[in-house]
Amino acid sequence: MKIIILGNQKFGAAVLQKFHYETDHDVVAVLCEKKSNGKSIDPIKKIAEQSKIPVFQTENYNDKKLINQITKLKPDICIMAYVTSLIPRKFREIPFKGSICFHPSLLPKHRGPSAINWPIIFGSKETGLTIFHPNDFLDQGDIVLQKKVRILPDDTLGDVYFSKIFPLGVNAFVEAVNLIDTNNYSRIVQDEKKATYESWCKKSNSKIDWNKSGQEIYNLIRGCNPQPGAWANFRKSQYSFYDTNFEIKKNIKFLPGQIILINKDEILISVIGGVLKVSRIKSKQGKLYIKEMDTSMFKQGEFFI
C-alpha cells in the first residue's frame, strides 16, 4: 500500500525505518511537527530526508494546500505514530482506507497523554498497546489490534516503554497494515463502560506522600522514572527519586520518611510496611548515584517530607 506516516520523535522514526526498509509498502510522505526554536531536527524528518521521502511540517491539518498535496499522492492509509493532538476528520479520511493510530495502553483503559505512567503508579501487573482507527474524540475509535505486556514488580516507566511497548508497537503497525491491506480483520468497537481517562502525569502528581504505603510510594517512583520524577523535600531542598528498591519489613522502629541508614551505595528510608532503598536521586547537581554524592548532608533520623 501507499502509506503516509504522521509521526514524531524516535518512535515515529523507528516506524518509518521499519516500513521503508523492511516492508514492501511504499511510504509516499512523512508529516511531522514544525521545528521549535532551539530544538534539533526531528529524527523522523532526518530519516525521511535521507531516504528522499517528501516531508511536510505543519500545525494545521485543515490547511487546504496541505490537503490538496496529500490527496494528489493518493495514499491508501495514514499511520499516526507518536501524535499528541487530534487530527481532523477531513485529513484522516484522505487515504482510501483511512487512518490508524498508536496508543500505549489497552484501550479503552487509560485514555489520555500519560497512558504508560498511570498503570505502573496504580500497581497494575499488565498493560499494552492498541492500534485503532481514530475518530473525533480522544483515544476513541474502532480497534484493529492490541498487544499485552507484563509489568514486572520492579519495572519503571522507562523499562515498560523502551524495552517493551516501543519495539512491540513498531511491529504492531506492520501487522495492522498487513491486516488492513488484505481486509483480514474485524473492527472492534471500544466498550465505553470500561473506559478510563487520566490526564498528564505532572510534577504536582508525583510528590511523594509518606503517609501512603511503601508499595504505593514505590509504584509512584517507578511510574515516574524517568519522567516527571517522584520527589520529596529534605532541608528545604528538593530531591527526585529514580533508582530505588522496596523491601517489605515489619516492625520498623522509624517513622515514614525517616532516614534509617546512609551507606556508600544507598540511602535507606523508612516507609509504611518496609524500607525504601534509594541508589540514585536528582539534586541541584543533576541525577546522581548515591555512591557519587557527598552524603554528609543526610543524617540518620532526619526526614524527607
Instruction: State pLDDT tens for residues 208-259.
Output: 999 999 999 999 999 999 999 999 999 989 999 999 999 999 989 999 999 9
Residue 173 has pLDDT above 60, yes or no: yes
Nearest alpha carbon to residue 218 among 194, 196, 189, 246? 246
Q: What is the pLDDT of residues 97-141, one digit of tens each?
A: 999 999 999 999 999 999 999 999 999 999 999 999 999 999 999
Q: What is the pLDDT of residues 267-301, one digit of tens each?
A: 999 999 999 999 999 987 777 889 988 888 899 99
Residue 144: pLDDT band (50, 70, 90) is very high
Quick one: pLDDT at residue 294?
A: 86
Quick one: pLDDT at residue 106?
A: 98
Provide φ and ψ at 91, rounded to 5°: -80, -45
Quick one: pLDDT at residue 129?
A: 98
Considering only the top CATH level, what class is 203-297? alpha beta
Residue 34: pLDDT band (50, 70, 90) is confident
Q: What is the distance, to the nearest Å, from the Cα of residue 150 to the centroid of all Cα atoms in its chain?
A: 15
Residue 39 has pLDDT above 70, yes or no: no
Residue 22 has pLDDT above 70, yes or no: yes
Quick one: pLDDT at residue 56?
A: 96
For residues 187-199, average pLDDT? 97
Residue 38 has pLDDT above 80, yes or no: no
Domains 2-194 and 203-297 share a fold: no
- Between the alpha carbon of residue 116 and those of residues 103, 113, 146, 272, 297, the distances in Å are 10, 9, 15, 26, 35
- Mean pLDDT score of the chain: 95
Quick one: pLDDT at residue 235?
A: 93
Architecture of domain 2-194: 3-Layer(aba) Sandwich (3.40)
Quick one: pLDDT at residue 206?
A: 98
- Between the alpha carbon of residue 195 and those of residues 84, 85, 110, 171, 211, the distances in Å are 19, 19, 7, 25, 30
Q: How far apart are CA 67 and CA 61, in angstroms?
A: 7
Taking the alpha carbons at both ends of the chain, their separation in whole angstroms is: 57
Residue 37: pLDDT band (50, 70, 90) is low
Residue extents of the structural domains in the chain: 2-194, 203-297
For residues 157-183, average pLDDT? 98
